[in-house]
Structure 1
Amino acid sequence: MRVILQRSGKASVTVAGEVTGSIDKGYVLLVGVTHEDTKQDADYIVKKIAGLRLWEDDEGKMNHAIDKVEGAILSVSQFTLYGDVRKGRRPSFIEAARPEHAEPLWNYFNDALREQGLQVETGIFGAMMDVELVNDGPVTIIIESK
C-alpha cells in the first residue's frame, strides 16, 4: 500500500460537479493499493498517519499529530500511484490492484482511520475526480507498507 500524504489548509474532491468530500485543516491522502496488500498493510499505515507529528507547536517545530490540531482527512483512491513508467511512454498499471481487491481495502483503511477518532471524508472509488487542495507548508510525505 502506498499513500501520498499532503498537509493542507483546506481541500475538496468533486465528482460530476458535486462535492463528495471536503475538509479544512488536515491531510489529503492519495491511496494506492497493490495486489498483495492486506488489512495488516492498511493498519500499519493508519497507525503511522494517526501518530505522525507534522503540525507545528508554539516554537514552530513539527511536534503535533493531527488529532492535537483537530484536523481531518480527505482520502482519495489513486490506482495511478502504482503506474510504472520505466519502459515506453505510457504507464503500466499492472502493479495496481484490481477494483474487487482495492475498493474493500480502501474502505477498510478509511474505517480504520475513523476508529482512530479522525474525521474522514472521501472521494468516490473509481470515479473521475477533481481534487483541490491548499498544500500547507508545503508538507508532502510518502508512506509505504512494504
Structure 2
Amino acid sequence: MIFHLSIDADDPRHVAEVIAELWGGIATPFPPVTEGSWMAMAGDERNTTLEVYPRGTVLVEGEGDTDAYGVPGGTGARSATHFAMGTALGVEQVIAIARREGWPVKYRKRGDIFGVLEIWVEGTRMIEVLTPEMQAEYRETMTVAGWNRLMQAMGAGA
C-alpha cells in the first residue's frame, strides 16, 4: 500500500489546495524537504498525503545520519518523485534486500514522529519502506491534527 507520493509543480501551493479540495482534506506547508513545498492531506483512514515540491526540485541522499533533502535545478536521473510503502518484512530483511541490490539504505525518523527505511533505488530514486511497526507510527501521527501540532511546534503555518 502507498501512504504518500511526491510530485513537483510550478505552483505547489495551488496544486496542493486543488488536490485537497478533491479529497475533501486540507493543504498545508511542507517545509521539511525544501522551501516552498506544500502537502495535500486527505484526512482519510490511511492518512494519505501528496507532497508537492517546486518544479525542478530533486531529492538527494543526506550524508551520514541525515534525512534526504530537496535541492532546486533538477535535470537527469534524479527527481522529487518518491513514495512511502508498507511491507510485512522486518527491518533487517528490508536492509538485506537493499544491500543485496547495492542500493543505499538507512533508518530515519521523520520529524521524530515516524520511522522509515530510506532506500535509494539504483542510487537515484528514493522510496521509504515502512515495516509494520513503522506503519503504526505513521498512522498514529500523520493525521491532519497531528500535522497541525507539528507545524505549530515548528512555528510554521499556512
Q: What is the TM-score normalised by the length of structure 1?
A: 0.28
Normalized per residue, the structure richer in helix is 2
Normalized per residue, the structure richer in strand is 1
Q: RCO higher in 1 or 2 (8 Å CA, sep ≥ 6)?
A: 1
